[in-house]
């Protein structure tokens, strides 16, 4: 503790500095930065506690030796890409089930690729340090969880007996582009794009009793652990946007929308259609032009897009135009109406953390 004069009397005792006014704005910004840092550490501490209390080991928490159940499906029918098309009408019930199985394998392969991309972002977060902060420790914990998830996805693919679908070369280019992006709203928005879209689909499938038990259990485990990841990324996205003015936010918003436009078509490879005797190009066009495509994409993206709108990640004409091209934007957002704030909805993802 210093024995010198109190700061408050300094200007009157030392004449030469009496004219120095405290920079209120700078001081406020600094206090906000400190509060932000504390808030971030508190969040990370809470997430670390949750990870220690509730985690799963897919090797033991899924009974891999149990056989598939006859008559069960792989994905809810209406989420299968050809659902509602003329091609769908021509498929036998067995072919529909088979197509669902292949689409699930494609989705799981996409999940492994996407988790690899997200993990490389997390490694960069750790690299920025300080490595002993709760924030860095949580990033490491999340990395470990993603590694377990990818192992779990791979085991399920293996159990189906269907060879995994390789990601196209374009996916590797996207991965490289992400590595070049600075850590910030675009990278955390991209994280949410993968995690929230899959989360929505998985919540529906895991509640469907017609779906294979192994698949439901895998989704349950994934949803529970991903709820922490979503909480973490949402917090970082909001914080990152809060630190930037309108001009510095714009490239992040556009990059995220562009990322979405390129990532959505990667989820189900058109090669799955060969399994039911449909030419991949024909299947892709039929699926993409179907009204069900928009319905499915909107269903999967809605909570995330409402959150983006709430925090300012869906502002700007270019951003909105790019998002509209993804055909995943709910009508009220697409029409420019005032969106329902995501935080007033029951946000079950984040609720699951506590």
Those residues with Cβ within 8 angstroms of residue 30's Cβ, 6 or more apart along the chain or in another chain: none
Residue 303 near residue 333 (C-beta atoms within 8 A): no
Q: Does 200 bind Fe ion (CB under 5 A)?
A: no
Size of the chain, expressed as the number of residues it contains: 354
| Nearer Cβ to Fe ion (73/198) | 198
**Least distance in angstroms from the C-beta of 92 to Fe ion:** 34
| Nearer Cβ to Fe ion (226/302) | 226
- What's the Cα-to-Cα distance from 79 to each of 45, 189, 192, 323, rounded to whole Å? 37, 24, 20, 21
| Nearer Cβ to Fe ion (121/162) | 121
Using CA atoms, how far apart are residues 307 and 314, in angstroms rounded to an integer?
Answer: 9
**Least distance in angstroms from the C-beta of 345 to Fe ion:** 21
Pull the structure tokens for residue 284: 């892709």
CA angle 114, 44, 255 (to 5 degrees): 40
**Least distance in angstroms from the C-beta of 190 to Fe ion:** 12
Which positions from 306 through 345 interact with Fe ion, judged by CB under 5 A? none
| Nearer Cβ to Fe ion (103/226) | 226
**Least distance in angstroms from the C-beta of 224 to Fe ion:** 11
Those residues with Cβ within 8 angstroms of residue 209's Cβ, 6 or more apart along the chain or in another chain: none
Question: Of the ranges 147-155, 161-169, 283-291, 346-354, which one interacts with Fe ion (CB under 5 A)?
Answer: 147-155
Total residues contacting Fe ion by CB under 5 A comes to 5
Which positions from 236 through 295 interact with Fe ion, judged by CB under 5 A? none
Question: Of the ranges 167-175, 187-195, 288-296, 343-351, which one interacts with Fe ion (CB under 5 A)?
Answer: 187-195
| Nearer Cβ to Fe ion (139/329) | 139
* 3-state SS, residue 73: strand
Query: From the centroid of its chain, how far is CA 185?
Result: 12
| Nearer Cβ to Fe ion (146/236) | 146
Which positions from 224 through 243 interact with Fe ion, judged by CB under 5 A? 226, 229
Query: From the centroid of its chain, how far is CA 112?
Result: 13
Q: In degrees rounded to 5, what are phi and psi of residue 222?
A: -65, -45
**Least distance in angstroms from the C-beta of 191 to Fe ion:** 7
Question: Quick one: 87 exposed, middle or buried, by C-beta within 10 A (0-12, 13-18, 19+)?
Answer: buried
Q: What mask, x for binding Fe ion by CB under 5 A, covers residues 95 to 134?
A: ----------------------------------------
Q: What mask, x for binding Fe ion by CB under 5 A, covers residues 127 to 146?
A: -------------------x
Using CA atoms, how far apart are residues 130 and 101, in angstroms rounded to an integer?
Answer: 44
Which positions from 28 through 57 interact with Fe ion, judged by CB under 5 A? none
Candidate list 149, 214, 216, 253; residue touching Fe ion; CB under 5 A: 149
Residue 18 near residue 11 (C-beta atoms within 8 A): yes
Pull the structure tokens for residue 69: 């159940």
**Least distance in angstroms from the C-beta of 69 to Fe ion:** 25
Question: Of the ranges 58-66, 155-163, 179-187, 218-226, which one interacts with Fe ion (CB under 5 A)?
Answer: 218-226
**Least distance in angstroms from the C-beta of 220 to Fe ion:** 13
Using CA atoms, how far apart are residues 134 and 263, in angstroms rounded to an integer?
Answer: 31
| Nearer Cβ to Fe ion (47/297) | 47
Residue 293 near residue 81 (C-beta atoms within 8 A): yes
| Nearer Cβ to Fe ion (103/146) | 146
* Residue whose C-alpha is closest to residue 266's, from 197, 202, 180, 203: 197
Which residues would be at the binding site for Fe ion (CB under 5 A)?
Answer: 146, 149, 195, 226, 229
């Amino acid at each position: 503790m210093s024995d010198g004069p109190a700061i408050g009397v300094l200007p009157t005792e030392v004449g030469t500095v009496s004219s120095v006014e405290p920079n209120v704005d700078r001081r406020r910004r600094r206090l906000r930065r400190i509060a932000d840092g504390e808030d971030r550490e508190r969040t990370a501490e809470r997430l670390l506690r949750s990870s220690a209390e509730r985690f799963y080991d897919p090797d033991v928490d899924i009974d891999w030796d149990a056989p598939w159940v006859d008559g069960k499906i792989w994905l809810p029918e209406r989420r299968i890409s050809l659902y509602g098309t003329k091609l769908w009408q021509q498929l036998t019930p067995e072919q529909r089930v088979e197509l669902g199985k292949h689409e699930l394998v494609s989705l799981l392969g996409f999940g492994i690729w996407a988790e690899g991309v997200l993990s490389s972002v997390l490694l960069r977060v750790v690299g920025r340090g300080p490595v002993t902060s709760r924030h860095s420790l949580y990033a490491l914990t999340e990395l470990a969880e993603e590694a377990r998830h990818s192992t779990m996805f791979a085991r399920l693919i293996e159990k189906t007996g269907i060879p995994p679908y390789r990601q196209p070369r374009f996916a590797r280019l996207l991965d490289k582009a992400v590595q070049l992006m600075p850590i910030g709203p675009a990278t955390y928005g991209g994280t949410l794009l993968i995690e929230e879209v899959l989360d929505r689909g998985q919540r529906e499938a895991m509640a469907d009793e017609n779906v294979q038990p192994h698949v439901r259990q895998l989704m349950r485990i994934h949803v529970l652990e991903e709820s922490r990841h979503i909480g973490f990324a949402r917090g970082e996205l909001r914080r990152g946007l809060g630190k930037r003015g309108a001009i510095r936010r714009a490239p992040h918003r556009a990059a995220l929308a562009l990322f979405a436009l390129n990532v959505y078509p990667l989820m189900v490879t058109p090669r799955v259609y060969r399994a039911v005797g449909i030419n991949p190009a024909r299947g892709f066009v039929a699926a993409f032009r179907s009204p069900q495509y928009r319905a499915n994409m909107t269903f999967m993206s809605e909570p995330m897009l409402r959150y983006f709108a709430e925090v300012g990640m869906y502002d700007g004409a270019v951003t909105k135009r790019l998002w509209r091209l993804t055909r995943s934007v709910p009508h009220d957002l697409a029409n420019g109406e005032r969106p329902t704030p995501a935080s007033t909805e029951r946000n079950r993802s984040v609720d699951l953390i506590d």
